[in-house]
Amino acid sequence: MAQMVFDDFAPSMPDREILANGTMLTVAANESTAQMMAMALYALGRHPDQRRALVADRSLVPAALEEVHRWLTLTQLVLRHACSDESQVEGFTIPEGSAVVSLLGCANRDPARWDNPHSFDIFRVRKAHLGFGFGPHICLGIHLARIEMSIWLNRLLDKLPEYELAGDIEFGSDFTLRGLRGVPIKAA
């Protein structure tokens, strides 16, 4: 935000554009972080043994949160346009300027990269995942989201170390941003 206001390109940006970008960043940060908290609640509700390990050893929290991002990738796909020249990927030709869809959720379940990719495992050997995107389009709030989620999860485990999922879990219908409609729980 500060760059939009103070950098050299700021004079060429109308105030309404700065406001629109700021609003988009704020909404994106709140919605995605809240959804990932719901995903963590769900994942740890389905795997109480791993939740108990977190209660006993809080140093596992960062790994658990990264595993939630990998296993339940919120942003399922991103659309980009192929740059300058024609490209070859795995024998396929991508013409210059073509739309390319990257399926981040699929990549985070790639068996060539992950052992038992469909399993949730907070003890998994840590590798980079695509839960926050990649390259120049990586999530701007990646560090803030990790901090917020870590604080939240530690507080949750303090207040509610034992809980059970208490109803049906339903994912939303938006394939691009695959979130939960709710996570009903009850104290165990």
Domain ranges of the chain: 30-75+103-187
143 touches 151 (CB < 8 A): no
Mean pLDDT of 107-123: 97
Nearest C-alpha neighbor of 33 from the set 76, 61, 65: 65
95 touches 82 (CB < 8 A): yes
Residues in CB range of 159: below 8 A, 6 or more apart: none
Instruction: Say whether pLDDT at 2 is over 70.
Output: no
> pTM of this prediction?
0.84
Question: 163: helix, coil or strand?
Answer: strand
Can you give the pLDDT at residue 65?
A: 98
Q: To which residue do tokens 């990719």 refer? A: 117
Instruction: Say whether pLDDT at 105 is over 70.
Output: yes
51 touches 44 (CB < 8 A): yes
Q: Per-residue pLDDT tens for 65-100?
A: 999 999 999 988 888 877 777 888 889 888 888 888
Residues facing residue 100 across a β-bridge: 80
Question: 9: helix, coil or strand?
Answer: coil
DSSP 26-55: HHHHHHHHHHHHHHHHHHHHH-HHHHHHHH
Can you give the pLDDT at residue 47?
A: 98
Instruction: Write the CATH number of the domain with boundaries 30-75+103-187.
Output: 1.10.630.10
Count Cβ atoms within 10 A of the Cβ of residue 68 and give its class: 0-12 exposed, 13-18 middle, 19 or more buried.
buried
